[in-house]
């Protein structure tokens, strides 16, 4: 198992890519061996490929699991009585959701990593928080949806939490106006899932012809891009509408999966997603699965040193992306930065916000 002192104590974007990759290689080799000894399912999967011991010399040589395996198997590396929370991914009708098992250690790692990443973007002070969702989303505590887990995770950075949608997922303008008037002279944190903000907030404000003025707002959003792409809405158009109808100019999209919750990739002011010191991204050819160079689109492979209670540390996703560069983003953050372009063709639609289907 990875120890806390091996993960934390270093600012999340302070190490250059080459040094960070050496650090990750050591810890991921160690984590692979841990999961082999503590997860019979993981061990059997690797054994099927003739892998019994991990001693990779490069990050790309470490074995990865297909993200879809978490929908088909109960993968955990701790005794069941040590599981304190089960996270559910979304899934289309008829599809099993992934189930992610957290013990106290992994839950604490993920929470600390998220805090470290977010403080780099919004500072240490808790801000008044407007949540573009319904409070009912977080009521299930033991079996949380990805959306509920996301809200609870980001809620740690706010105070005076106010939910902008009612129990029927309709916008509550009276509640929103009261919140904005109460905090009119303060910075405020705004959070929601991209598709829900678009459908339940932006489109509702357009229909009501009732723009908001949140010039002091910082909006954090992610999830549900595939549905927006189906409506021909890209990131730039989304930002324009946010500025027009919410009055917000500081907007950070993020990329992350429930299978590696805590290992989020935040979008900087330059529009790039950044790898923190806990995580890395590789890009593989969709056909051969060979490693691809920078500025070549392919399938995203995600690496994280946070998952100790389940073998979700190296995952081949169903998302397309491209590494843009490392260490030289104009925003000043070190490490790899990249773009995500969406789901691969014929992949099952999913995402944190897809658990709500507006009708």
Domains with residue ranges and CATH for the chain = 110-255 (3.40.50)
Q: What is the pLDDT of residue 217?
A: 94
CB 38 within 8 A of CB 77: yes
CB 335 within 8 A of CB 275: yes
Strand positions, DSSP E, the chain? 65-66, 85-88, 99-102, 127-132, 143-145, 158-163, 188-193, 217-222, 250-255, 265-267, 273-274, 279-284, 298-304, 314-326, 336-343
- Flag whether pLDDT at 138 surpasses 80: yes
* Sheet with 85-88, edge to edge strand ranges: 99-102, 85-88, 143-145
- Flag whether pLDDT at 351 surpasses 60: no
Q: Which residues pair with 330 in a beta bridge?
A: none
Burial of 81 (0-12, 13-18, 19+ CB in 10 A): exposed
Which is more confident, 307 or 223? Answer: 307
Average pLDDT over residues 88-96: 63
pTM score: 0.90
- Digit-coded pLDDT (tens) for 152-168: 889 999 999 999 999 99
* Residue bearing tokens 């935040």: 266
Average pLDDT over residues 82-103: 80
Q: What is the pLDDT of residue 89?
A: 78
Which is more confident, 82 or 344? Answer: 82
Which is more confident, 142 or 221? Answer: 221
CB 263 within 8 A of CB 278: yes
Average pLDDT over residues 96-120: 92
Average pLDDT over residues 7-32: 95
Q: What is the mean pLDDT of the chain?
A: 90
Q: What is the pLDDT of residue 143?
A: 60
Residue 348 has which token pair? 């099952």
Q: What is the pLDDT of residue 124?
A: 92
What is the DSSP code (8-state) at residue 351?
-
Q: How far apart are CA 231 and CA 233, in angstroms?
A: 6
């Amino acid at each position: 198992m990875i120890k806390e002192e091996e993960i934390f104590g270093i600012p999340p974007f302070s190490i250059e890519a080459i040094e960070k990759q050496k650090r990750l290689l050591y810890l991921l080799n160690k984590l692979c061996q841990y999961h082999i000894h503590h997860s019979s399912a993981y061990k059997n999967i690797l054994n099927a490929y003739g892998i019994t011991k991990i001693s990779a010399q490069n990050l790309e040589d470490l074995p990865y699991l297909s993200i879809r395996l978490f929908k088909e198997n109960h993968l955990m590396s701790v005794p069941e009585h040590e599981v304190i929370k089960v996270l559910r991914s979304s899934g289309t009708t008829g599809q099993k959701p992934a189930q992610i098992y957290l013990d106290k250690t992994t839950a604490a790692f993920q929470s600390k990593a998220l805090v470290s990443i977010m403080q780099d973007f919004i500072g240490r002070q808790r801000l008044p928080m407007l949540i573009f969702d319904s409070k009912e989303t977080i009521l299930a505590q033991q079996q949380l949806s990805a959306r509920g887990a996301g809200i609870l995770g980001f809620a740690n950075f706010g105070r005076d939490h106010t939910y902008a949608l009612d129990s029927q997922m309709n916008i509550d303008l009276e509640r929103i106006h009261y919140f904005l008037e109460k905090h009119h002279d303060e910075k405020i944190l705004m959070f929601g899932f991209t598709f829900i903000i678009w459908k339940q907030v932006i489109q509702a404000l357009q229909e009501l012809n009732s723009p908001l003025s949140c010039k002091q707002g910082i909006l954090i959003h992610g999830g549900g891009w595939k549905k927006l792409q189906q409506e021909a809405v890209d990131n730039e158009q989304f930002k324009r509408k946010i500025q027009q109808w919410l009055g917000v100019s500081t907007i950070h999209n993020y990329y992350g999966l429930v299978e590696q919750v805590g290992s989020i990739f935040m979008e900087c002011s330059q529009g790039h997603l950044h790898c923190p010191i806990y995580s890395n991204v590789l890009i593989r050819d969709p056909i051969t699965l060979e490693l691809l160079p920078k500025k070549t689109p392919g399938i995203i492979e995600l690496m994280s040193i946070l998952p100790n209670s389940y073998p979700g540390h190296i995952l081949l996703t169903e998302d397309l992306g491209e590494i843009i560069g490392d260490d030289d983003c104009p925003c000043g953050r070190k490490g790899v930065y990249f773009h995500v372009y969406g789901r691969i063709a014929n992949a099952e639609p999913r995402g944190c916000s897809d658990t709500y289907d507006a009708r």
